[in-house]
């Protein structure tokens, strides 16, 4: 049985984390007692930032440290960007007394500006001094427009998975504007992370924009193989995804979309993602408007197999459900549900396509006035 425990990466034996942030700019440092097996999933954006290119090239060597900065994406920076990413690895390796070839690197922030390497050097040194004292400091160091640090540790009984993450805007399937650094004391198999991401980070949406710097990375300090690790990692990543959406730019409501009864799982994912991405569904949620027609339309253009007469749609708040559509519009007390939506921080939309056993979940945030303000002023 899974149990969420306090803290983050510091719960995994052989892992130390630290961070330092001043103003917009911070550095997180994660160190491992030995070179460990690691696996990464990266943005599918064809504009890929130098730090990710560097990390991709090093995964095969095994990872003993991760250094990540906020405030500057080090993207569209050419050869200098590659050299600066490698320099971050070199500085971290020097502090830790390890090989540069075993240091992964990530960056997040504004695109198209060169790193201030004097500031980066200073912050790596201060993050090193903070190692092992509080992994929450590492989570805070990588925040950009996030309003709170995101760290998580889940005890699955015979093993644990822990991590830190950032992500608040440019959140869209096929990775999002996110960094998620995870560690476990179990052994994972190739493909576990990719599958987990497909059912978690690739199923969340805040604003339909995708970044150039997205990375999810898992490092194993353990030697023991365990049953059910892949499913556990999916649960962990889904919980992280929910945390990111809840802290999305301007988000006032988390929208969970559950699609069941699809012809296939792939169809369920298509429909769930389409509903989660819909700007009209998002704005209706912000306006406390139970407009099921927007949900139906988004499912209809998703590409999933759909027969209108077999589809059902419910809204659910705090365990209370109302059937809005059952092959045709259902009568319901709209005023009551408008009031329920006004007081809700989480809304669940359930869609049964009535065609099979395929199912999927997605997570989205509403669109608010604050989202527009944050992104109009971001620089």
Residue keyed to tokens 């550095």: 27
Query: Residue 176 above 60 pLDDT?
Result: no
H/E stretch holding 88 = helix 78-96
What pLDDT is attached to residue 370? 72
What pLDDT is attached to residue 133? 80
Name the most confidently modeled range: 117-131, 133-147, 357-371: 117-131
Please state, in angstroms and rounded to a whole number, the distance separating the CA atoms of residues 258 and 239: 15
Q: Which of 177, 184, 212, 234 is catalytic?
A: 177
What pLDDT is attached to residue 212? 77
Query: Residue 177 above 80 pLDDT?
Result: no
Query: Residue 371 above 80 pLDDT?
Result: no
What pLDDT is attached to residue 374? 61
Query: Residue 217 above 50 pLDDT?
Result: yes
Tens digits of per-residue pLDDT, 17-63? 999 999 889 999 999 999 999 999 988 778 889 999 999 999 999 99
- Helix H, strand E, coil C: the string for 44-73 is CCCCCCHHHHHHHHHHHHCEEEEEEEEEEC
Q: What residues are paired with 262 via a beta bridge?
A: 358
Mean pLDDT of 321-336: 95
Superfamily (CATH H level) for 254-377: ArgJ beta chain, C-terminal domain (3.10.20.340)
The single-letter DSSP state of residue 172 is: -
Please name the residues in contact with 343: beta carbons below 8 A apart, sequence gap of 6 or more: none
**Which fold is adopted by the domain 3-246?**
3.60.70
Specify the higher pLDDT residue, 368 or 176. 368
What pLDDT is attached to residue 173? 47
Mean pLDDT of 322-328: 97
Residue 14 pLDDT class (50, 70, 90 cuts): very high
Mean pLDDT of 86-111: 96
Q: How many CB atoms within 10 Å of residue 49?
A: 28
What pLDDT is attached to residue 92? 98
Yes or no: say if 276 and 203 are a contact pair by the CB < 8 Å rule: yes
What pLDDT is attached to residue 372? 66
Q: What percent of the chain has pLDDT over 70?
A: 93
Enumerate the domain spans of the chain.
Answer: 3-246, 254-377
Alpha-carbon separation of residue 8 from 29, 139, 184, 257 (angstroms): 14, 9, 11, 28
Q: 327's torsion region: left (phi>0), alpha (psi -120 to 50) or beta?
A: left
Task: Identify whether 43 is a catalytic site residue.
Answer: no
Mean pLDDT for all residues in the chain = 91
Query: Residue 210 above 70 pLDDT?
Result: no
Tens digits of per-residue pLDDT, 255-277? 999 999 999 999 999 999 999 98
- With a threshold of 0.85, does the pTM exceed it? no
Yes or no: say if 191 and 199 are a contact pair by the CB < 8 Å rule: no
What b/e sequence results for 121-131 when a residue is b if at least 16 CB atoms lie within 10 Å of its CB, and e otherwise? eebbbbbbebb
What pLDDT is attached to residue 342? 93
Query: Residue 335 above 90 pLDDT?
Result: yes
Tens digits of per-residue pLDDT, 219-254? 999 988 899 999 999 999 999 988 888 776 678 899
Query: Residue 175 above 80 pLDDT?
Result: no
Tens digits of per-residue pLDDT, 135-169? 899 999 999 877 888 999 999 999 999 999 987 54
Please tell me if the domain spanning 3-246 has the same topology as the one spanning 254-377.
no
């Amino acid at each position: 049985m899974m149990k969420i425990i306090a803290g983050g990466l510091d719960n995994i034996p052989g892992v130390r984390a630290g961070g330092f942030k001043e103003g917009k700019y911070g550095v997180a440092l994660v160190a491992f007692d030995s070179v460990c097996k690691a696996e990464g999933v990266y943005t599918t954006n064809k504009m890929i930032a130098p730090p990710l290119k560097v990390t991709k090239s090093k995964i095969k060597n095994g990872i003993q440290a991760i250094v990540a900065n906020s405030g500057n994406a080090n993207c569209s920076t050419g050869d200098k960007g590659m050299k600066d990413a490698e320099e971050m690895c070199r500085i971290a390796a020097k502090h830790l007394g390890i090989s540069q070839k075993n240091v992964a690197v990530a960056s997040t922030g504004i695109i198209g500006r060169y790193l201030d390497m004097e500031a980066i050097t200073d912050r790596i040194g201060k993050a090193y001094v903070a190692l092992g004292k509080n992994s929450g400091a590492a989570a805070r160091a990588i925040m950009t427009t996030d309003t709170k640090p995101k760290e998580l540790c889940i005890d699955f009984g015979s093993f644990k998975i822990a991590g830190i993450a950032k992500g608040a805007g440019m959140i869209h399937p096929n990775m999002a504007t996110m960094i998620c650094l995870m560690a476990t004391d179990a052994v994972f198999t190739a493909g576990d992370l990719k599958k987990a991401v497909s059912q978690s980070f690739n199923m969340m949406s805040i604003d339909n924009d995708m970044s150039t710097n997205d990375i999810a990375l898992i490092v194993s300090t353990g030697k023991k193989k365990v049953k059910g690790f892949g499913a556990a990692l999916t649960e962990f990543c889904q919980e992280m995804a929910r945390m990111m959406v809840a802290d999305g730019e301007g988000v006032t409501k988390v929208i969970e979309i559950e699609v069941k009864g699809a012809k296939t799982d792939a169809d369920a994912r298509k429909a769930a993602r389409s509903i989660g991405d819909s700007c009209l569904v998002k704005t209706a949620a912000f306006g406390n408007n139970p407009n099921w027609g927007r949900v139906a339309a988004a499912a209809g253009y998703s590409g999933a197999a759909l027969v209108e007469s077999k589809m059902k749609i419910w809204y659910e708040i705090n365990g209370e459900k109302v059937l809005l559509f059952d092959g045709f519009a259902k009568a319901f007390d709209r005023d009551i549900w408008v009031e329920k939506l006004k007081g809700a921080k989480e809304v669940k939309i359930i869609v049964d396509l009535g065609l099979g056993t395929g199912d999927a979940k997605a997570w989205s945030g509403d669109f608010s006035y604050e989202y527009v303000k944050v992104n109009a002023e971001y620089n």
